[in-house]
Chains A and B, each alone.
Chain A
Amino acid sequence: MSVGIAKRIWFTALLAMLTGGCATQNHFATLAVLPDDGHHQAAFLRAEQTLKNLFPARYRATQRAIVTIGGRQFTCDGLLEVLPTEGCHLAIVSSFGVVTDLRVRADGGCELLKVTPLFREDWSRQFVARDLRRLFMAPANLRPAGQLADDSVVLQTPQDASGVTAQYVFSADGARWRELDLMQDEKIFYRAVPKNFRKFPGTSAEIPGEFDVRADNYQLELRITELTVAKEAQL
């Protein structure tokens, strides 16, 4: 097999990601959120604080990811640096080199710092920035949505300009983040489950050591392999 064929295989796989034509199509049952009955205010407040304080204000993390597209799996490493003023700066590196390097600013805007031949710019903005924004940044405009039958409490964001609403599910006391769903037209197209909560050196709270993400046309298994809380001058 020639290198040319190898190249075509690579682009076929990425094209699946782009178009979703032969990629994994995930469908999720919409959560049955019961209207807020007014008895969970403390849990709502705590849930909001849980999300807001989940990660340290400034830290550096390394990640290992398995991405599944169309039933095929790819691995890559991530290097994430977070500063309150700068937002989240992430580089993704594969065996073939840097895939993408981008920053999601504190206001949610995306700044692409490096475009490489391995990954299209719009894929970085559409997929990578979304994961970064949704998994590692707490939205500022959460409001109580209600609770589930098992008393889990649900916070949600207002619809954004694209009509997307984010629902964050927490334990009944609001202390543990359990799930994130993104919805559009009342259909869930993205579900993230934080898991393996644990403390890292320098952290007082337990942080998700892993995320399982099922999105509209890909799956992401993301592990935080190292996390270091940074002092002001270190990043």
Chain B
Amino acid sequence: MKLFAKYKIAFGALLLAFGLNQAGAQTNAPVSLQQISGAMGRAQTVFTRFVQERHLSLFNEPLRSEGFLCFQKPGHIRWETTSPYKSILVSDGSGVAQFEWTDEKWRKLDLGLGDALQNVVSQTAGVMDGGYASSRSGYASSVTNNADEVVITLIPQNETVSKMMAAIEVHLTADLKETRRVVLRENGGDYTDIQFSNQLVNLKLPAKTFDRSAPVDVETICAVAASAKP
């Protein structure tokens, strides 16, 4: 259960962050969890670039990857790594699929843990409905307003989860319009730092963005995103 709880936390933190973008809270005003809860339901879609660094305590350099995250209500998630390898994990809300780029073509995996992954993704995608923040179940949360950013810190209260995860930090710009980073801090010093850029909320994503048989390529999504930018 630990690993799934951790996975759920990670996705939950990401979606929590993007939900927050819609809060429209006043700069420097304290952000309440009620505001967060109300705001989380407003993002119909999210598209953003990410750079992820896994910092391992026994290594000097992090394990780095980058790619794109797509979200669409209800429960559609696509986590696509574009470098240093190509991989797509996609859920359309009813199932999950994974594709790996090998031998110059996409290859759908016979995914182990597929049902389990779908279960986790479905639950975590559900945070967009606001229940995650409003129930506060399992986490002690705090909000820190700094000069140029707002940091939400979630501390797992569940004993099982807390053995794996020490804290989750969501870093937002002070105006709550941009999610800068999500940091997943594990016990023992390891942490994962995910930095976001080029975020677009409520973008009309192309058909088959979340297709589990043949998802549209990310270049098509990026083209749509580029044309939608003001």
CB within 8 Å of B: which residues of A? 1-7, 9-10, 13, 60, 62, 64, 66, 68-69, 71-75, 77, 79, 81, 89, 91, 93-98, 101, 113-114, 117-118, 221, 223, 225-226, 234-235
Most buried by B among A3, A64, A77: A3
List, in ascending order, chain A residues with CB within 8 A of B1's CB. Answer: 3-4, 6-7
A10 CA / B74 CA spacing, docked (Å) = 26
B4 adjacent to A75 (CB under 8 Å): no
Which residue on chain B has the smallest CB distance to residue A13?
B112
Bound CA–CA A6/B3 (angstroms): 10
Tell me whether B84 is interfacial, beta carbon within 8 Å. yes
Beyond the given A10-B116, A62-B84, please list 17 additional residue pairs across the A-B interface where CB-CB is below 8 A. Answer: A1-B119, A3-B120, A6-B4, A6-B113, A10-B4, A62-B63, A66-B100, A69-B112, A75-B98, A75-B100, A77-B63, A79-B59, A95-B7, A95-B89, A97-B190, A98-B186, A221-B102
Interface residues of B in 100-117 (CB under 8 A from A): 100, 102, 109-113, 115-116
Q: Which of A62, A73, A77 has the most CB of B within 10 A?
A: A73
Contact at B5–A3, with CB atoms within 8 Å? yes
Kindly supply a per-residue 1/0 record for chain B positions 83-106, scoring 1 wherever the CB is within 8 Å of any chain A CB and 0 otherwise. 011010100000000101010000
By a CB distance below 8 angstroms, the chain A residues around B63 are 62, 77, 79, 91, 93
Q: Is the CB of B116 within 8 A of A101?
A: no
Residues of A within 8 A of B5 (CB): 3
User: A91–B120 contact, CB under 8 A?
Assistant: no
Q: B56 within 8 Å of A by Cβ?
A: yes
Asked whether A73 lies within 8 Å of B102 as measured between CB atoms, the reply is no
Shortest Cβ distance from A176 into chain B, in angstroms? Answer: 20
B58 touches A89 (CB 8 A): yes
What range describes how many residues of B lie at the interface?
35 or more
A93-B54, A118-B3 given; A75·B87 CB < 8 A: yes
Chain A residue contacts of B119, Cβ below 8 A: 1-3, 5-6
Residues in chain A near residue B186, CB distance under 8 A: 97-98
Given A62-B84, A72-B111, A77-B63: A98 in contact with B56 (beta carbons within 8 A): yes
Assuming the contacts A97-B3, A97-B164, A101-B56, asked whether A1 and B115 have C-beta atoms less than 8 A apart, the reply is yes
Residues of A within 8 A of B54 (CB): 77, 93
**B residues whose Cβ falls under 8 Å from a Cβ of A:** 1-8, 54, 56, 58-61, 63-65, 84-85, 87, 89, 98, 100, 102, 109-113, 115-116, 119-120, 163-164, 186, 188, 190
Select which of B61, B112, B163 is within 8 A of A74 by beta carbon.
B112
* Number of A-B residue pairs with CB-CB distance less than 8 Å in the complex they form: 113
Rounded to whole angstroms, the CA-CA distance of A9 and B119 in the bound complex is 12
On whether A96 and B4 interact (CB within 8 A), knowing A6-B120, A60-B61, A91-B59, the answer reads yes
Q: With a CB–CB cut-off of 8 A, which chain B residues contact A5?
A: 115-116, 119
B164 CB, min distance to chain A CBs, angstroms: 7
Q: Could you say which of A74, A79, A81, A221 has the most chain B C-beta atoms within 10 Å of its C-beta?
A: A79
Inter-subunit contact A66/B109 (CB<8 Å): yes
Q: Is the CB of B7 within 8 A of A1?
A: no
| 8 pairs of A and B residues whose beta carbons are closest in the complex | A6-B116, A72-B112, A96-B3, A225-B84, A73-B109, A64-B85, A1-B119, A7-B1
